[in-house]
Amino acid sequence: RIKGGHGNTKMSSKAQWHEYISVSLSSLLHQQHAQTDSTFARWTYSHYFQFLREKDKNIIVKCNLCASATPRELSTSKNSTSNLKKHLDQCHANTKLTERDAGAEKRKRAEDKSAGKSQTKQQKLSFSRSAVLLEPREVRRLVAEYVVEDMQPLSTVESPAFKKLVSKIPTNASNDKVTAAAALKKTLDAQQYVSTTADIWSANNKSFMGVTVHWIDADALTRKKAAIACKRFRGRHTYDAITTELEDIFSQYGLTNDKVTACVTDNGSDFVKAFKEHQQQQVESEEEEEVEGDGEMEFTDLHSVLTADDDTQHGLCLLPPHHRCAAHTLNLIANNEVVNWLVSNPESRAVYCSATAKCSALWTKASRSTVASECLEEVSDRKLIVPTVTRWNSFYNAYARITEMPLTDINSLCTQLQIKCMNDREYQFLKEYCAIMKPFTVALDILQGEDTCFYGTLQPTLEVLMAKTLVMKNGLSQMTTGLPEVIVGAIKTRFATTIDSKDALLAAVSLPKFKLRWVKEEVRRDHIKFLLTTECRSLTTEEPTALMPYAPQPDGTNEDDFFSFDVQPNATADPASQPARCNYSSQRACLFLPDCKMDTFQERVDKLLCM
C-alpha cells in the first residue's frame, strides 16, 4: 500500500498509480505553460509572488512579502498584472522593491530556445525549380484574354509597367517576331504576283501607317492576306514622305515593282500625288527621250549628284501601279455628288434638310436618353440605328429603319420626345431616297468583301449598279427626279479609267462567276472576246501537270439577287452554257491542250466563255 499525495488515498494497483502520476505531470506541465505564457511570467516584479494555479482566464498567486502565516491568494488576468501592482503599492509601499535581472533571464530563455531549436530543427524545403517557358503565342493569347474578359481598356497594353511585367515572363523564343517575319518573307518570295494596300490614320494625336499584302494560293485558289506594317508615321503627310515609307516597307519583304501588280489606297491627295510622281512609266519615258538624242556624249558633275537634296532625287523612288479604293470612291459619291445635288436642287433642298434634321433629332434622343429608349420600345420592337460618319452605309441603314415604321408611330414617338413631327412629304422623300440608294448599298457591301471580292468583281458590279439605278428613275416624284442620272454620271466620271481598263475587263471575264454574262452590248462582247483571245495567245502554252482544286465560294442572298443576269442571245440550251461555278483550271486547260473537236483557237476561247 502506498500513501498518495492527496490525503490517504490508497493505490491498490499499479495501473491506478500510473494514472495518478500521469495526471499530476499533466497538471504540472499545464501550470508551467500557463506561467510562462502569461504576462505575469514576463513581469519585472514577478519574483515577489508565487504562482499557484490557473483558473479560467486568470491565474492565482500568493505574495511572498506578506508576513501572515497564511497569506491570502491574489487573482490577476493572464494578460495584465495591474491587480498585483496595486497590491504592492497599497500593502508594501514602505518596502523598497528591486527589479529582477531581466537580461539574465532573457539570455537564459534564448539559450534554452536555441537548444530546443537545434534539437527540433525543421528540415528546410527547397522550392527552386526550373522556370516554365511559354510560347510567345501563348503569352499574347493570355494578354488578349485578360484584356477582353476583364474589360480592360486597350491602352493597358501600352502602359510601361504592363510592358515591364510581360517582358519578365520567360519565353522559349525571344526572336518570335523575327521568325514570323522570316516565314512571311519566305511565303511572299514564293509568289509570282501580289497586291498591296496602304492607309494612314490618326488616333490620340498620333499618325500611323498600315500596309497589307494579298495573294492567291496556287494550291487552293483562295485569297491569302497578311499585314506587313503598322508603324508610327511622324511628320507631315507629304507625298515624298509617304513614298519613302512605302518603298522602305516594300524593300523589307522583297516586294519589287515586277511582283506587286498594284497598291490600293484611298482617294487622299497625298497618296494620289505620291503614286503619280513616282511611277515607273515616267522613268521609262525619260530614258526613251535620252535615246532619241543626237548621240553626243554628255558629262555630268559627280559632285552635284552626290550633294543633291532628296527633293531633286525623288524620281529615284519607284512605286507600283496605283488603284483607288472602289469602296471609298462610292462613299465619296454618296457623300459629295448625291448630297450636293439634293442641297442644290430646288425641289429637294427644303425637304431633304428638314427630314434629315428630324431623323438626327430622333437618333440623338434615342441614343442618349433612357426615357426616350423606353418610349421607342412602346412604339417599335426594334431600336433605331445611329449612323457612323465614316461609313455611308450606316446612314442608309438608319434612314431605312425609320421608314420601316408607319408614319403614325413615328409622329407618336416624336410627340413623346417633344420633337417636331414628320409630315407626309418628308416621309415620302425618305422612302424614295432609300429605294434609289438600295442598289448602291448592296454594291458597296460587295466591294467591301473580305474573301470573295476580286479585281474581276469591280466591272460587273459597276455595270449592274448603273443598270439597276437607272431602272429606279420611273415613278419618282419631283423631289428625287434626276437623282438616278446623277449617281450614274458620278460613277462614270470617277471610274472612267477603270471602265475602259483592259486589265479590269480581262479580270472580269476570266472570273468564272461572271465571264460575259454581265455585258449587254454585242459590240462590247466581241471587243472583250478579242482582248481575251489576244491575251491567251501571248501566254506560255505549257501543259498543266494537274487540275487545281475548286475553291467554293460562300453563297450570299443579297449578292445573288444583285447579280441576276438575263440569258444572253448566244446562250445555248446546253447546261454547260448556263451560269454555273466551274473549275477554272479545267477551263484554262482547254485553251492549250490539243482537242480534235476544236479547230481554231477562237473556238477554244468561245467554249471557255460558255462553260
Question: If you write DSSP's letter for every residue of 288-303 in order, what string do you get?
Answer: HHHHTS--------HH
CA angle 276, 277, 282 (to 5 degrees): 90
Give first-to-last CA distance, the chain, whole Å.
124
DSSP 181-226: HHHHHHHHHT-S-EEEEEEEEEETTEEEEEEEEEEE-TTT--EEEE
**Closest CA relative to residue 395, chosen from 439, 431, 354, 360:** 360
The helix or strand, by DSSP H or E, that contains position 332, with its residue range, turns out to be helix 326-332
Task: Answer whether 53's CB lies under 8 Å from 31's CB.
Answer: yes
- Residue 475 has a pLDDT of 86
- Taking only the tens place, the pLDDT of each residue in 272-324 is 999 988 876 544 444 444 444 444 555 666 666 556 554 444 446 788 999 99
Residues ≥6 apart with Cβ < 8 Å to 189:
254
- The whole-angstrom separation of Cα 329 and Cα 111 is 91
In terms of average pLDDT, the best of 171-175, 244-248, 372-376 is: 244-248
Residue recorded with cell 507625298: 239
Question: How large a percentage of the chain has pLDDT more than 70?
Answer: 70
Task: Answer whether 58's CB lies under 8 Å from 78's CB.
Answer: yes
Helices 424-447 and 483-494: crossing angle in degrees, nearest 10, is 20
| Helix, strand, or coil (residue 119) | helix
- The whole-angstrom separation of Cα 280 and Cα 285 is 9
Task: Answer whether 265's CB lies under 8 Å from 322's CB.
Answer: yes
Task: Answer whether 470's CB lies under 8 Å from 484's CB.
Answer: yes
More confident residue, 548 or 300: 300
Whether 141 has a pLDDT exceeding 80, the answer reads yes
Residue type at position 505: L
C-alpha separations of 453 from 225, 350, 459 in Å: 13, 39, 12
Segment 9-35 shows an average pLDDT of 54
Task: Answer whether 48's CB lies under 8 Å from 64's CB.
Answer: yes
Name the pLDDT band for 108 (thresholds 50, 70, 90).
low
C-alpha separations of 153 from 16, 158, 169, 230, 578 in Å: 77, 10, 21, 20, 54
- The whole-angstrom separation of Cα 514 and Cα 524 is 15
- Starting at the edge strand that comes first in sequence, how are the strands of the sheet with 260-265 ordered? 223-232, 206-216, 194-203, 260-265, 322-324
- The whole-angstrom separation of Cα 533 and Cα 535 is 5
Whether 83 has a pLDDT exceeding 80, the answer reads yes
- Residue 517 has a pLDDT of 86
| Helix, strand, or coil (residue 578) | coil
Residue recorded with cell 460587273: 460
Task: Output 251-259 pairs: Cβ under 8 A, ≥24 positions apart.
Answer: 252/228, 253/184, 253/185, 253/188, 253/213, 253/228, 254/185, 254/188, 254/189, 255/188, 255/194, 255/196, 255/213, 257/318, 257/319, 257/320, 259/191, 259/192, 259/193, 259/194
- Taking only the tens place, the pLDDT of each residue in 400-415 is 999 998 999 888 888 8
More confident residue, 564 or 552: 564
- Taking only the tens place, the pLDDT of each residue in 168-195 is 887 765 555 567 788 889 999 999 999 9
Segment 348-375 shows an average pLDDT of 89
CA angle 472, 475, 477 (to 5 degrees): 105
Average the pLDDT over each of 167-176, 385-394, 552-561 and give the range with the smallest value.
552-561
- The whole-angstrom separation of Cα 584 and Cα 514 is 12
- The whole-angstrom separation of Cα 399 and Cα 386 is 10
Helices 601-610 and 584-592: crossing angle in degrees, nearest 10, is 170
The two beta strands, 260-265 and 194-203, are parallel
- As given in the structure block, the three cell numbers for residue 595 are 482537242
Q: What global pTM score does this model have?
A: 0.62
- The whole-angstrom separation of Cα 367 and Cα 356 is 16
Residues ≥6 apart with Cβ < 8 Å to 208:
200, 201, 202, 230, 231, 232, 233
Average the pLDDT over each of 307-311, 447-451, 523-527 and give the range with the smallest value.
307-311
| Helix, strand, or coil (residue 118) | helix
Name the pLDDT band for 139 (thresholds 50, 70, 90).
confident
- As given in the structure block, the three cell numbers for residue 521 are 452590248
DSSP 450: S
Mean pLDDT over each residue of the chain, to the nearest integer: 77
Task: Answer whether 447's CB lies under 8 Å from 412's CB.
Answer: no
Whether 213 has a pLDDT exceeding 80, the answer reads yes
- The whole-angstrom separation of Cα 204 and Cα 65 is 84
Domains of the chain (ranges; CATH) run 46-92 (no CATH), 136-167 (no CATH), 180-280+317-324 (3.30.420.40), 327-500 (no CATH)
Residues ≥6 apart with Cβ < 8 Å to 267:
324, 325, 328, 329, 332
CA angle 219, 446, 216 (to 5 degrees): 15
Name the pLDDT band for 21 (thresholds 50, 70, 90).
low
Question: How large a percentage of the chain has pLDDT more than 90?
Answer: 24
- Residue 44 has a pLDDT of 80
- Taking only the tens place, the pLDDT of each residue in 25-61 is 555 545 555 555 667 777 888 888 888 888 877 888 8
Alpha-carbon torsion (391, 333, 502, 263), positive or negative: negative
